Amino acid sequence: MPMRCEKIKHNEVQCKAYAMFQSRFCFWHCPKAEEKRNEARKKGGLNRRKDYGGIIINYKIKSYRDIQQLLEIVINKLMKGDCTPREARAIGYLCNLARNLRDVAHWESIDYPGSGQEQTHPQN
């Protein structure tokens, strides 16, 4: 039967992972596997980065209308399955921040791209 990793973790509980071949520790706790661990972490980071390849490229938000159009694009992409709900949520969240920033700029009479030419207050 394979041995369990001997590492006692910070919470004083022994690691429950199986030990690596000819080692007393699992992959994540074996001192000799540090280089391979770092490689694995790096690969994991690179794989995760692929998720953010960008569903919309070269889109610049300069006005409230651009935010509206971006949301329409994202909604259509989501309905066609061309982007993930996670991506759509992230863009929706950022659009909301941009809109809020624009509203604050409007209230404080700060010059914000698009104000004056577009609707002055999108919610009213």
Residues lying near Zn ion in the complex (CB under 5 A): 5, 7, 15, 17, 26, 29
- Cβ-based nearer residue to Zn ion, 31 or 85: 31
The CA distance from 87 to 83, in Å, is 6
What is the Cα 51 distance to its own chain's centre? 8
43 residue type, one letter:
K
CB of 115 to Zn ion, least distance (A): 57
CB of 4 to Zn ion, least distance (A): 8
- Cβ-based nearer residue to Zn ion, 17 or 71: 17
- List Cβ neighbours of 49 (8 Å cut-off, separation of 6 or more): none
- Cβ-based nearer residue to Zn ion, 23 or 119: 23
- Cβ-based nearer residue to Zn ion, 21 or 107: 21
CB of 12 to Zn ion, least distance (A): 14
Structure tokens at 84: 């993930």
Phi-psi region for residue 102, left (φ > 0), alpha (ψ -120 to 50) or beta?
Answer: alpha
Structure tokens at 85: 């709900």
Alpha helices in the chain (DSSP H): 34-50, 64-80, 85-107
CB of 42 to Zn ion, least distance (A): 20
